[in-house]
Chains A and B, each alone.
Chain A
């Protein structure tokens, strides 16, 4: 589990922490993880994220999360947690209209 540190937006002087970048491709879609950047503070990280991950019109909005704020599942527990041989959980008994773009 994560230990609470100083606010991720104002890390210690001289630090160059990692930030996770989420980009929204267009209005109405969700922000999707694009990658990460190193930056000493949130404002710089936001500019870096724009420069690195939206060069070719990939997005209209960026979210940043300090990597230290991410709580991740245990990769070793993948089998127990994400065992996927459960076809009965997939709702296959109704159809989705063609007009529904992003469900």
Chain B
């Protein structure tokens, strides 16, 4: 099959989401404020890395061009990455990390629950497990949004700042083109637009609990699904890929 196969592109999009996020969360291991949070962030990181590996390995198989999951992860350049721009936003402070995770989780829970009944059994199998992981992640991240939002003056200010900073990258989660429409018609993909009600309801309920508000500015940055990224991915990829590029085919 060609690289333009819609299933290949769809798997890259979902796989890159998780790969880029796992790389960011991995950088936090050993830096969290408490041992318990350090292990928690490592757990979440590894969940996303596991999802990324499954999706990218499957993508490589669908492509049938001799590339494997490592090749896809480590040898593609920025413009070939298909993650939504939210995933590449920086860790920032703890509030930013948790707000980003919260928006991710509110998107991935309905995504994986939908994919769990996909006509593609490989995707459905993966999604059933991933949905469990995402539901647990959502419980944790939404808890932190509420705790910090409805906390002290400083924690509230910082969580509101994080929500304001990350909200403009959320619409990209729901971007869709003919890749999704073809696969939705075949019962394989989930229509990103159909995830919006769960996302919006979850965000509204949690922010209300957290005494936070969404920014009124309507600006949204999209384009990640076409490889049009914010500058941050260009910093993340060299760090992630340098070892593999220096030692082609290395195993570690």
Query: With A38-B36, A39-B36, A48-B36 given, is the CB distance from A55 to B140 under 8 Å?
Result: no
B143 touches which one: A47, A52, A55 (CB < 8 A)? A47
- How far is it, in angstroms, between the C-alpha of A51 and the C-alpha of B133 when the chains are bound? 12
A55 touches B34 (CB 8 A): no
A55 touches which one: B35, B37, B43, B139 (CB < 8 A)? B43
- How far is it, in angstroms, between the C-alpha of A55 and the C-alpha of B34 when the chains are bound? 17
B40 touches A47 (CB 8 A): yes
User: A37 at interface (Cβ–Cβ under 8 A)?
Assistant: yes
User: A43 at interface (Cβ–Cβ under 8 A)?
Assistant: yes
Query: With A38-B34, A38-B36, A39-B36 given, is the CB distance from A51 to B143 under 8 Å?
Result: no
CB distance from A40 to the nearest CB of B (A): 9
Q: Which of B100-143 contact A (CB under 8 A)?
A: 139-140, 143
User: B27 at interface (Cβ–Cβ under 8 A)?
Assistant: no
Q: B34 — nearest CB in chain A belongs to which residue?
A: A38
Task: Please indicate the chain B residues that have their CB under 8 angstroms from the CB of A51 in the complex.
Answer: 36, 39-40, 43
CB distance from B68 to the nearest CB of A (A): 27
B140 touches A47 (CB 8 A): yes
Task: Please indicate the chain A residues that have their CB under 8 angstroms from the CB of B39 in the complex.
Answer: 51-52, 55
- How far is it, in angstroms, between the C-alpha of A52 and the C-alpha of B43 when the chains are bound? 9
B40 touches A48 (CB 8 A): yes
Number of interface residues of B (CB under 8 A): 10
Binary per-residue interface labels of chain B (33-76) against chain A in the complex, 1 for a CB within 8 Å, 0 otherwise:
01111011001000000000000000000000000000000000
Task: Please indicate the chain A residues that have their CB under 8 angstroms from the CB of B139 in the complex.
Answer: 47
CB distance from B31 to the nearest CB of A (A): 16
- How far is it, in angstroms, between the C-alpha of A47 and the C-alpha of B143 when the chains are bound? 10
Q: B136 — nearest CB in chain A belongs to which residue?
A: A50
- How far is it, in angstroms, between the C-alpha of A55 and the C-alpha of B39 when the chains are bound? 9
B36 touches A37 (CB 8 A): yes
- How far is it, in angstroms, between the C-alpha of A44 and the C-alpha of B43 when the chains are bound? 16
Q: Which of A39, A44, A51, A52 has the most CB of B within 10 A?
A: A51
Task: Please indicate the chain A residues that have their CB under 8 angstroms from the CB of B40 in the complex.
Answer: 47-48, 51-52
Q: Which of A27-68 contact B (CB under 8 A)?
A: 37-39, 43-44, 47-48, 51-52, 55
CB distance from A76 to the nearest CB of B (A): 30
Q: B147 — nearest CB in chain A belongs to which residue?
A: A44
- How far is it, in angstroms, between the C-alpha of A37 and the C-alpha of B34 when the chains are bound? 10
Task: Please indicate the chain A residues that have their CB under 8 angstroms from the CB of B43 in the complex.
Answer: 51, 55
Task: Please indicate the chain B residues that have their CB under 8 angstroms from the CB of A52 in the complex.
Answer: 35-36, 39-40
- How far is it, in angstroms, between the C-alpha of A48 and the C-alpha of B143 when the chains are bound? 12
Task: Please indicate the chain A residues that have their CB under 8 angstroms from the CB of B143 in the complex.
Answer: 43-44, 47
Q: List 6 A-B contacts (CB under 8 A).
A: A43-B143, A48-B36, A51-B36, A51-B39, A55-B39, A55-B43
**In the complex, the 5 A-B pairs of residues with the closest C-beta atoms, listed nearest first:** A48-B36, A51-B40, A52-B39, A37-B36, A51-B39
